[in-house]
Amino acid sequence: MLNDEIRYKLLKLLESNPNLSQRELAKELGISLGKVNYCLKAVLERGWIKAENFKSSTNKLAYAYVLTPRGLEEKAAVTVRFLKRKLDEHQMIEDEIKRLRSEVEETRSQVTFSSPQRDG
């Protein structure tokens, strides 16, 4: 099963560079070659990309993974979902930072009031 983050990154990479090899995709995505193969098969089956054979000087047979119109629609939809999730995560982090700052201020005020006074 592809999560939105991998789906987003995969479609974005393929849109900008359809000639990436599976090894290069694995490195860019930070996932195993086997998982890249699985992900490519999944998006191929859904009709979001098509694989086109081409010959290159270093690799006798390689593929270009081209986004289809359905793939472009999915990339747009997954981008919106991914952005919403990241914005929600950002808000949660901001809320946690506010709570931690309050806790630090509260702790500082308690330490200030409970510190023993020295006679000079």
Q: Angle, to 10 degrees, between the axis of helix 22-29 and the axis of helix 4-16?
A: 130
pLDDT value of residue 70: 96
Read off the pLDDT of residues 20-45 as tens digits, 9 standing for 90 and up: 999 999 999 999 999 999 999 999 99
Contact in structure between 24 and 16 (CB atoms under 8 Å): no
Q: Where are the domains of the chain?
A: 4-85
Tell me how far apart the alpha carbons of residues 78 and 59 are, in angstroms, rounded to a whole number. Answer: 32
pLDDT value of residue 69: 96
- Kindly report whether the global pTM for this prediction surpasses the value 0.75: no
Read off the pLDDT of residues 56-100 as tens digits, 9 standing for 90 and up: 656 656 788 999 999 999 999 999 999 999 999 999 999 999 999
Average pLDDT score over residue span 102-120: 77
Percent of the chain with pLDDT over 70: 86
Identify the architecture of domain 4-85 in CATH: Orthogonal Bundle (1.10)
DSSP 19: T
